[in-house]
C-alpha cells in the first residue's frame, strides 16, 4: 500500500492477464494493475473547451474536486510517464495518455547562466537562437493621475502630502539610480511552421517535492524551462489534436531533448518533466 494523501491510497500490484485486460477495456499489453482508493468528491460538470487528459470524458456528470481531483491528475501523469492506462471506476472510461503529448522539460540547478552564456548553449542546438529581452517602453502614469483624489487620501494635511511625495520621489530616484537587477530572461528560436523553441531562466523559491531534500535546493534554485510553443496553442489542450499539430510536436521533441541535455551539461542539477517526475539525463 502506498498512501497518496490523508484520504487516498494505492494498493497493489496485482497480476493482470489478457482476459482481465479485455474485461476492463484496457490494452492487452497490460500485465500489472493497481487499485486506487480515493474519496468521491465531485463538483460541476466539465466546461466546454480543452480536455487534454480526457478527464471531462471520464467525469461527465461532475468533475472531481479537492483530493479526488489531485489524485486523478497524478494518476494520468503517472500513466503518461510509465506508458500505462487509467480506468475510472463508475464511468469505466479508460485514459491512455500518450507520453509525447507533453514534451516540456525543466532543469533545476544552483548555477546561474548569464543570458549570453545561455544563448551560446542554445545555439549549439538552434544556431539562429536569439535573446528575447526586448525592453518594454513605459507609457507614463495611468490616465487621471494627479487630477483626482486617490482613495484613502481624503483628509491628509498639506504637510503630510508633501512628505509622502518627497518619500515617493526619493524611492524613485534610488530605484532609477541602482543598476538593473536581472531576475530572469528568455532565449528563443523560430522553428518555421512548427512553432517556437524557448528557454526561460528564473530563480524559484519553491522547487518540486522530488528535489526538496537536496541541500543545494533547500532555499530555492534556478529553473531553466525548455518549452515548445505550438503554432496553435489551443491544440496543446486537446486530447486528440490535429495531425499537423502532432507532426510539429514530433519534430519539436528531439529539439527539446537536445536543448535540455545541453543545458544540463552546462549547469548540472536535475531534470524534471512537466508533471515534476525526475528524468534521467541519459534518457534525453
Residue-wise pLDDT tens digits, 203-243: 999 999 999 999 999 899 999 999 999 999 889 988 899 99
Tell me how far CA of residue 101 lies from CA of 97, 110, 157, 245, in angstroms. 7, 29, 62, 10
Alpha-carbon gap, residue 58 to 43, rounded angstroms: 13
- In the chain, list all ranges with CATH 3.30.1400: 101-133+182-283
CATH number of 101-133+182-283: 3.30.1400
pTM of the model: 0.80
Q: Establish how many alpha carbons lie within 13 A of residue 102's alpha carbon, considering only the half-sphere containing its beta carbon.
A: 20
**207: part of which helix (H) or strand (E)?**
none
- Cβ atoms of 105 and 226 within 8 Å: the answer is yes
**136: part of which helix (H) or strand (E)?**
none
pLDDT digits 0-9 by tens, 156-189:
787 887 888 888 888 888 877 777 777 899 999 9
DSSP state letter for 196: E
Residue with cell string 545561455: 118
Amino acid at each position: 500500500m502506498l498512501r497518496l494523501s490523508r484520504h487516498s491510497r494505492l494498493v497493489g500490484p496485482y497480476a493482470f492477464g489478457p482476459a482481465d485486460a479485455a474485461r476492463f477495456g484496457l490494452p492487452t499489453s497490460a500485465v500489472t494493475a493497481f487499485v486506487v482508493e480515493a474519496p468521491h468528491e465531485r463538483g460541476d460538470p466539465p466546461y466546454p473547451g480543452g480536455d487534454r487528459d480526457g478527464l471531462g470524458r471520464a467525469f461527465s456528470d461532475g468533475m472531481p474536486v479537492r483530493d479526488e481531483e489531485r489524485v486523478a491528475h497524478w494518476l494520468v501523469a503517472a500513466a503518461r510517464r510509465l506508458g500505462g492506462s487509467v480506468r475510472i471506476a463508475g464511468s469505466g472510461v479508460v485514459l491512455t495518455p500518450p507520453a509525447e503529448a507533453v514534451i516540456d522539460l525543466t532543469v533545476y540547478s544552483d548555477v546561474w547562466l548569464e543570458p549570453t552564456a545561455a544563448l551560446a548553449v542554445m545555439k549549439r542546438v538552434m544556431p539562429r537562437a536569439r535573446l528575447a529581452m526586448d525592453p518594454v517602453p513605459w507609457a507614463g502614469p495611468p490616465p487621471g493621475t494627479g487630477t483626482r483624489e486617490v482613495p484613502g487620501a481624503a483628509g491628509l494635511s498639506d504637510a503630510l502630502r508633501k512628505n509622502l511625495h518627497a518619500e515617493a520621489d526619493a524611492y524613485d530616484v534610488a530605484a532609477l539610480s541602482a543598476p538593473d537587477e536581472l531576475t530572469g530572461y528568455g532565449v528563443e528560436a523560430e522553428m518555421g511552421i512548427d512553432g517556437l523553441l524557448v528557454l526561460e531562466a528564473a530563480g524559484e523559491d519553491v522547487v518540486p517535492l522530488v528535489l526538496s531534500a537536496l541541500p543545494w535546493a533547500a532555499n530555492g534554485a534556478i529553473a531553466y524551462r525548455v518549452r515548445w510553443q505550438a503554432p496553435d496553442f489551443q491544440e496543446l489542450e486537446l486530447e486528440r489534436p490535429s495531425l499537423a499539430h502532432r507532426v510539429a510536436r514530433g519534430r519539436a521533441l528531439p529539439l527539446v531533448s537536445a536543448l535540455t541535455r545541453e543545458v544540463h551539461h552546462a549547469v548540472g542539477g536535475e531534470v524534471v518533466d512537466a508533471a515534476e517526475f525526475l528524468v534521467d539525463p541519459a534518457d534525453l
